Amino acid sequence: MIQTKWKSPSNIALVKYWGKHGRQLPRNASISFTLHHCHTITEISIEEKKVDGQISIDFFFENKKQDQFKSKILSFLNSILSEMPFLVQFHWHIHSSNSFPHSAGIASSASSMSALMACICDLEKQLGFQKEGTDFLKRVSYFSRLASGSACRSVYPLAASWGQSNYLPLSSDEYASPFDADLHIDFHDFHDDVLIVSRNEKSVSSTVGHNLMHNNPFADIRYEQADLNMKLMLQALKSGDIEEFGRITEAEALMLHALMMTSSPSFVLMEPSSLEIIKKVQNFRKETSIPLYFTLDAGPNVHLLYPHSVEEKVNQFISAELSQHCDQNQVIRDFVGKGLEKL
């Protein structure tokens, strides 16, 4: 039996992807830090099956059969069948697990979809179906994007951008590009602690959320702002300007939530505790001059971003002031990581 196993991390967007068109193409370029501890491990083994033109899979999540995920994966694999016709030649046994609790309210599509596509692209290569000279990570990124936009950024170490941008000559809407070579050394060991405000499932799926941008009255202004923020963020990440990095990161998070609040129907995804945390972080920074910044994805959990040099002081602050706002005091400590890894 042929098999493979890959680990892929989650990522946290600094400039956010929000709004898409066509076949999973982003309305604006985005950039993220690749994480380390929050990851998915996926293992696939395959066996030949009779030719009947159908894709056939088993899907186990944390050793339990998961039919809801199975049907999502199956419909995604069917959508890429013309690019990966060999999928119908085998039966696919897929086993997946996350390092973070499934109910932690952390989006897992980025790590799970990139781990899945790393396995499939690797098997494609092992079976001799991949063109010689294929850029493996680019191919994984391309297919991960088709599964879930933000997943395409998870494959690269440290930081990755996605989406055509005038400020990034090699950028594309179809796959992510690495940004590690240009990333200032001060960001290489940056921390991202996730404050779990709520473990409830998201009340708006990302696809529904992205689609709300079609009629959002601020959509055009948003895409202009995202372009400007990409320009400024890239400069800050290159030069090591942590203050400017933090200013843009927080503005992006608040703008994302403002867009959700101004959509029709409107979604308020922050909880009172999210706001308490945000206010405390802003005050802490003012009082101590310690560079601690927040961001949020499309949910209530707050990510805290800060340089390694202030770890101890931030830890004390989290324990004394912030963890009380979290569900069961839960905080997931993470930092910038290496990207996709074969196990």
Residues contributing to the site for ligand DP6 (CB under 6 A): 13, 16-18, 24, 30, 107, 109, 148-150, 206-207, 210, 256, 297-298
Q: What does the DSSP 8-state code read for residue 115?
A: H
Closest separation in Å from C-beta 210 to ligand DP6: 5
Identity of the residue, 117 or 298, whose beta carbon is nearer to ligand DP6 in the bound complex:
298
Q: CA 40, CA 63: separation in Å to the nearest integer?
A: 13
CB 142 within 8 A of CB 124: no
Q: CA 6, CA 225: separation in Å to the nearest integer?
A: 36
Identity of the residue, 99 or 150, whose beta carbon is nearer to ligand DP6 in the bound complex:
150
Identity of the residue, 45 or 108, whose beta carbon is nearer to ligand DP6 in the bound complex:
108
Identity of the residue, 17 or 175, whose beta carbon is nearer to ligand DP6 in the bound complex:
17
Identity of the residue, 207 or 319, whose beta carbon is nearer to ligand DP6 in the bound complex:
207
Identity of the residue, 207 or 324, whose beta carbon is nearer to ligand DP6 in the bound complex:
207
> What is the per-residue DSSP string for 319-330?
IIIIGGGSGGG-
Compute the C-alpha angle 143/155/17, nearest 5°: 75
Closest separation in Å from C-beta 67 to ligand DP6: 20
Identity of the residue, 138 or 210, whose beta carbon is nearer to ligand DP6 in the bound complex:
210
Closest separation in Å from C-beta 206 to ligand DP6: 3
| Distance between start and end Cα atoms, the chain | 17
CB 37 within 8 A of CB 99: yes
Angle between helix 219-239 and helix 242-261 axes, rounded to 10 deg: 160
Closest separation in Å from C-beta 234 to ligand DP6: 15
Compute the C-alpha angle 55/150/214, nearest 5°: 100
Closest separation in Å from C-beta 233 to ligand DP6: 12
Phi/psi region, residue 33 (left: phi>0; alpha: psi -120 to 50; beta: rest), is: beta
Closest separation in Å from C-beta 336 to ligand DP6: 15
Return all residues near 312 (Cβ < 8 A) that are at least 6 apart.
none
Q: Report how far Cα 4 is from the mean position of its chain's Cα atoms.
A: 23
Closest separation in Å from C-beta 301 to ligand DP6: 11
